[in-house]
Amino acid sequence: MFEQFAAGARAAVTSAVDEAALRGDRRIGTEHLLLGVLHEPGAVRALGADLDS
């Protein structure tokens, strides 16, 4: 099923998994997904935010 996601969505979920691992979390929550989305340049421009802020 994950293969059916758009490339940007797959990248965001992969980044969310990485964020959870960096923080030592064993589950993926909405906070990880949001951080994963913020790794995508298009989403950053659309939201007007970035990881630094």
Domain segments of the chain as ranges: 2-46
Using one digit for the tens of pLDDT, what is the confidence trace for 2-53? 678 888 888 889 999 999 999 999 999 999 999 998 888 777 777 777 667 6
φ, ψ of residue 17 to 5 degrees: the values are -60, -45
Listed residue (46, 17, 42) closest to 32, CA to CA: 17
Query: What pLDDT is recorded for position 7?
Result: 85
Q: Work out the burial of residue 19: count CB atoms within 10 Å of its CB; fewer than 13 is exposed, 13-18 middle, 19 or more buried.
A: buried
